[in-house]
Structure 1
Amino acid sequence: MRTLAFADRDLFWPPADELIEAAERIRARLGDWPRARVDWRVCLAPPDTARASDLIVVIGAAADVQAAQAWRAAGASLIEADAGKVALKTATGARYAFEGTLAEDWLAALAAFLDCGFEPHDALVLALAWRDGDETRGEDAWPVDLSRFPRVAGLPRAPSQPFPACERRLGLYPVVPSAQWVERVLALGVRTVQLRLKDATPEQLATEIGRAVAAGRRHGACVFINDHWREAAQAGAYGVHLGQEDLEVLEAADISAILQSGMRLGLSTHGYYEMLRALHFRPSYLAFGAVFPTGTKTVPTAPQGLARLERYVRLLGEHVPLVAIGGIDLARLPAVAATGVGSAALVSAVTAAPDLARAIAELQRAFGA
């Protein structure tokens, strides 16, 4: 495969045959992935001219801060590694900090995971989960042992206890825009649903959420409320679903208040870094997406695809329920189910269906529910 040949590519600076050979050995055991959209270059010394696809690695505490700032101004990103602590700093100011184990081959692993199409912060997570010799232990050496993965540094204190558990397999999971839609899908046999309200007044929020929660109780169903956790808690909702942007603004007291409400907590994720960050908050489930292209919501990452979903299931399926979301319809649902994921969230496949009852029945059959 072309993607396994690194010798003729500008992969490391300065060129390093031993690192290239190690990267090729690792890449050969990671499976068939589309070529990365960016030709990243891992720089172990300052290049004469930095570029946006450079990841400049500084090992040890003696970083040249002034030079690093100049590299970042040119568009490069900086990786600082010292005694098990690793931080990625991008030219845009984003910072990803970890604590973990650095294998001897971690830079070669980083290059290999970048070649698999992962963004630098996710490739770095996987490189920190890598152990020397993993490529010799089977045809597929993908890291799927959660205990090996690094810890995200700088997060607020974790909740004192996990959020309440929900069912391991939440099944078909429509995401709908009103309480009336909640009532309709529950009446057709759906047992997990999310109310995602947009542009509602406080009075409308209270009314719609209260009505949706009441419908869930009548049907013995799991009704999650998107975003509006205070109103959901006041209504006694089964659960609330939050995005990564919500985690960025929530205070420790907010997390504690959600926990004390007794609600289940679902969190959106879009890659390995966000999954580790979300796990820190001990949620009831994790949602992963967007699996396929979707027009229903703007997402910060490219479509993830089934291969990544399958590996997330292998990594986390025994630890926390997982929900796949994004562009899933009837035609794609069997392939999604084949990854082993316990739930599939759908929007337009439900809300745009010309015959809702028929659509729900077909979707349930396709997912094996």
Structure 2
Amino acid sequence: MSLLNREVFWPPADELIEVAKRIRARLGEWPAAETRWRVCLTAPEAPNTGDLIVFTEGQNVDMERLAKSGAAVLEAHGSRVTLRRGDERFALEGECSDNWLAALAAFLDCHFESHDALVLALAWRAGDENKDDAWPVDFATFPRVAELPPAPESRCPPCPDRLGLYPVLPSAEWVERVLDLGVRTAQLRRKTSDAADLQREIARSVEAGRRHDAHLFINDHWREAIATGAYGVHLGQEDLQTADLNAIAKAGLRLGLSTHGYYEMLRALHFRPSYLALGAVFPTRTKVMPTKPQGLARLARYVQLLSGHVPLVAIGGIDAKAMPGVLATGIGSGAVVRAVTEAPDTAAAVSSLQQMFASQW
């Protein structure tokens, strides 16, 4: 593990580093962290971009100086822990164990983003390292995301726990073709600046969904989805700032939300979605992703934590070769793009993928 033979805490804290090493040894094999984080228990004279500086109650914080240094700042006040990293702010509330800072160092060493490592550290409980499986998987111990706007007044309708094969398609023609082949969950992701084209494509896709009694989601364009009476809408994290979630819920649309790690999953759950998309699992050429690929090991942990709480969809770079490994995590749906739209034989590709789901269940 990369915790060995380097400065993990500053000033040096022998007891903390020993606990961090003990925790890290029980977390399993994870890729080495690209950033060699140093958890600073007091502000160093010359902070740098690899420093995560922890402040507790009663300490003064020169945020302007620290922001210029590129260091991340962690403020812990009672049950509230806030991470500041550049212009980003991540606020969490929950019970902290006595060794949460040691756990934070261990999860940072597992190559998790600092805000996701913080979520795991706050979910960690003393003695977890003595369990057969030390990874935090008890949802009750996880913190909640603070400083969020109110959740929608009413919950969006539920969707099936296992949505199955979930093609994400560029046009109404593709939606019709795939639904004709027996697929019952699909998404229209129409990339156009032509409003008339967008309305036609959405209306045609929604009609195809009704004709086949399918679960047809519209990507991003929630107003048009409401106007056409779509089954559901799929939004990204950035859309949560602008979309009228109350209007979506009142219209009876299902709501799917994209997530890219633990923090975003907890944030998305606050808004009471019908499903969560977890990704990108693998590298993808179809969309510029804000985070690096999650991989199957992380996906399996996400499924272990969230199964039974909300339906889950794996997305990002999934093809026929990768699908068996994705399904082995226990997830109820796998979204595909090129595995269908670039297949030499669409019908054969859909049939093969459908059989993978059937054999898994």
Taking structure 2 as the reference length, the TM-score comes to: 0.97
Output one character per residue of 1:100-144: Cα deviation in whole Å (capped at 9) or x when no partner: 111100000000100111010000011111111111122x21111
Q: CA deviation at 1:63?
A: 3.0
Q: Structure 1 residue 309 and structure 2 residue 296: aligned? A: no
Q: Which residue of the partner structure matches residue 208 of structure 2?
A: 215
Say which of 65, 71, 74 aligns to 1:76: 71
Q: Structure 1 residue 129 and structure 2 residue 154: aligned? A: no
Stretches of structure 2 that go unaligned for 5 or more consecutive residues are none
Q: Structure 1 residue 202 and structure 2 residue 195: aligned? A: yes
Call closer, same or farther: CA 1:122–1:23 in 2, change over 3 Å: same
Q: Secondary structure at the match of 1:368?
A: helix
Q: Which residue of the partner structure matches residue 115 of structure 1?
A: 109
Which segment is superposed worse, 338-347 or 155-164? 155-164
Q: Which residue of the partner structure matches residue 36 of structure 2?
A: 39
Give the whole-Å Cα distance in 1 for the aligned partners of 2:97 and 2:225: 45
Q: Secondary structure at the match of 1:299?
A: coil
Give the whole-Å Cα distance in 2 for the aligned partners of 1:168 and 1:200: 34
Residue identity opposite 2:61 in structure 1 = V
Q: Which residue of the partner structure matches residue 283 of structure 1?
A: 273
Residue identity opposite 2:23 in structure 1 = I
Q: Secondary structure at the match of 1:65?
A: coil
Q: CA deviation at 1:7?
A: 4.2
Say which of 15, 20, 24 aligns to 1:27: 24
Q: Secondary structure at the match of 2:256?
A: strand
Which segment is superposed worse, 177-186 or 44-53? 44-53
Say which of 283, 286, 293 aligns to 2:283: 293
Residue identity opposite 1:74 in structure 2 = S
Q: CA deviation at 1:269?
A: 0.2
Runs of 4+ in 1 over 6 A off after TM superposition: none
Stretches of structure 1 that go unaligned for 5 or more consecutive residues are none
Give the whole-Å Cα distance in 2 for the aligned partners of 1:56 and 1:65: 10
Q: Which residue of the partner structure matches residue 225 of structure 1?
A: 218
Does the CA-based 8 Å contact 1:103-1:128 persist in structure 2? yes
Q: CA deviation at 1:346?
A: 0.4
Give the whole-Å Cα distance in 2 for the aligned partners of 1:162 and 1:146: 20
Alignment of 1:140-151 (within 5 A): 140-151=133-144
Does the CA-based 8 Å contact 1:7-1:20 persist in structure 2? no
Residue identity opposite 1:336 in structure 2 = V
Call closer, same or farther: CA 1:7–1:15 in 2, change over 3 Å: farther
Q: Which residue of the partner structure matches residue 266 of structure 1?
A: 256
Give the whole-Å Cα distance in 2 for the aligned partners of 1:69 and 1:130: 31
Taking structure 1 as the reference length, the TM-score comes to: 0.95
Alignment of 1:54-69 (within 5 A): 54-60=51-57, 62-66=58-62, 68-69=63-64
Give the whole-Å Cα distance in 2 for the aligned partners of 1:295 and 1:203: 27
Give the whole-Å Cα distance in 2 for the aligned partners of 1:162 and 1:32: 39
Residue identity opposite 2:357 in structure 1 = F
Residue identity opposite 1:162 in structure 2 = R
Does the CA-based 8 Å contact 1:324-1:343 persist in structure 2? yes
Q: Structure 1 residue 343 and structure 2 residue 337: aligned? A: no
Q: Which residue of the partner structure matches residue 12 of structure 1?
A: 9
Q: Which residue of the partner structure matches residue 150 of structure 2?
A: 157
Does the CA-based 8 Å contact 1:196-1:226 persist in structure 2? yes
Give the whole-Å Cα distance in 1 for the aligned partners of 2:128 and 2:64: 35
Aligned-CA RMSD value:
1.1
